[in-house]
Amino acid sequence: MIVEMIKGASPEEVDDVAQRAKSLGLNVQLNIGTDKTVVAILGSNTGQLSTDLFAILPGVERVARIMKPYKLASREFKAEDSLVYINGIEIGGKRIVVMAGPCAVEGEEQIVEAARAVRKSGACVLRGGTFKPRTSPFSFQGLAKDGLELLARARQQFGIPVITEVVDPHDVSLVSKYADILQVGSRNMQNFALLTSIGRSKCPVVLKRGFSCTVTEWLTAADYLLAEGNNQVILCERGIRTFEDSIRFSLDISSIPVIKSVSHLPVIVDPSHATGHYSLVPAVAKAAVAAGADGLLIEVHPNPKEALVDGLQSLTPSDFARLMGELRAIAKSVDRYI
Ligand code: PEP
Ligand code: MN
């Protein structure tokens, strides 16, 4: 249920709404907009409660039920676009934010080379996995804490913020000491213990779409982060599993405008995991920008042939530099910039 306050409602009136909800055993989340405040009333039995319980209170303009499983990620709760700030970089505004780097941190030289290259071409966030969720237990699992140390060194040397994945709720406090953005991988989109822990950390987070999950399930997972008071949430479309086997996954390009219409959260696209092949990454990256994505997450490796993970889908630094030039032109044509 959402309670929309009138323009200029006093803090006491907003508080009365919150107190009534609490007296009924419900939780609240406030969206304090520039214009008016919206109070989301959250609980498992709000459907059984009369809207009059809130409509009658002073300062209330309208009470409505959100007929969707997700509440806090919805435009009904927050009509204006959410912006996420990473070291002064705005995500969700006019700028297309490019995050790039290797799939996994493999060693000092590799991550430093990658950071130098992607920074030079205009990426504003460095990616690098140190806890890798691998399909096989026998594959390289990442350098864990040692990898975080290397990432921190590259971050310091090049003054570039970093994004890295966290796979275990117990590692959230460790990883958030090093990372500017935590990444929730596709396989963990519905790991609710992990989402709750990241929600509590209040650290900016990129929530990848589960490759077998609908947009509704994805946004409902985002509610786990938002419900803990973490509103620094960025969604990432990375392709879904379909019958098509000529590519690694099928990029659901239409999820970008769908998200934009039903949610206020920024959405970026990962063309690397979607396609699985370096030759397909540029076309898909350009399509994503044209379709309204707020950013890209791209795998770039100084030497893809030697990569321990995902070499086939990684761009070389020179391919990445070329792609950035092409993306700038696409961004301009949709009134954005990189
Ligand atoms: C990754 O970005 O390193 C990754 C493993 O991606 P995904 O979770 O989308 O498969
Ligand atoms: Mn990868």
User: How many domains does one find in the chain?
Assistant: 2
For ligand 1, whether the C-beta of 204 sits within 6 Å is no
Q: 243 in a domain, yes or no?
A: yes
Which pLDDT tens digit goes with each residue over 157-189?
A: 999 999 999 999 999 999 999 999 999 999 999
Which pLDDT tens digit goes with each residue over 34-81?
A: 889 999 999 988 989 999 999 999 999 999 999 899 999 999 999 999
> If you measure from the C-alpha of residue 273 to the centroid of ligand 2, how many angstroms do you get, rounded to a whole number?
6
Q: Are residues 215 and 293 in the same domain?
A: yes
Q: Which positions ≥6 away from 140 have C-beta within 8 Å?
A: 104, 132, 134, 308, 309
Q: Are residues 96 and 174 in the same domain?
A: yes
Q: 72 in a domain, yes or no?
A: no
The pLDDT, as a whole number, for residue 34 is 86
Q: 73 in a domain, yes or no?
A: no
Q: How far apart are CA 295 and CA 272, in angstroms?
A: 13
Give the per-residue SS3 of 227-292.
Answer: HCCCCCEEEEECCECCCCCCCCCECCCCHHHHHHHHECCCEEECHHHHHCCCCCHHHHHHHHHHCC
**pLDDT at 298 > cutoff 90:** yes
**pLDDT at 293 > cutoff 90:** yes
CATH value at residue 90 = 3.20.20.70
The pLDDT, as a whole number, for residue 319 is 98
Q: 14 in a domain, yes or no?
A: yes
Name the closest-CA residue to atom 4, ligand 1.
Answer: 185
For ligand 1, whether the C-beta of 209 sits within 6 Å is no
Q: Tell me the CB-side half-sphere exposure of residue 124, using CA atoms within 13 A.
A: 16
With contact defined as beta carbons under 8 Å apart, do 304 and 312 qualify?
yes
CA of 270, closest atom in ligand 1: 9
For 293, the domain range is 84-333
> Which of 223, 231, 222 has its CA nearest to residue 201?
231
Q: 276 in a domain, yes or no?
A: yes
Q: Tell me the CB-side half-sphere exposure of residue 147, using CA atoms within 13 A.
A: 24
Which pLDDT tens digit goes with each residue over 3-32?
A: 999 999 999 999 999 999 999 999 999 999
DSSP annotation of 186 reads G
Q: 208 in a domain, yes or no?
A: yes
Q: 74 in a domain, yes or no?
A: no
For ligand 1, whether the C-beta of 129 sits within 6 Å is yes
Q: Are residues 92 and 226 in the same domain?
A: yes
> If you measure from the C-alpha of residue 230 to the centroid of ligand 2, how many angstroms do you get, rounded to a whole number?
26
> If you measure from the C-alpha of residue 298 to the centroid of ligand 2, how many angstroms do you get, rounded to a whole number?
9
For ligand 1, whether the C-beta of 302 sits within 6 Å is no
> If you measure from the C-alpha of residue 103 to the centroid of ligand 1, how many angstroms do you get, rounded to a whole number?
8
Going from the C-alpha of 168 to that of each of 140, 159, 197, 240, the distances in angstroms are 17, 27, 9, 23
Q: Which two tokens stand for residue 313?
A: 């889908």
> If you measure from the C-alpha of residue 133 to the centroid of ligand 1, how many angstroms do you get, rounded to a whole number?
8
The pLDDT, as a whole number, for residue 336 is 98
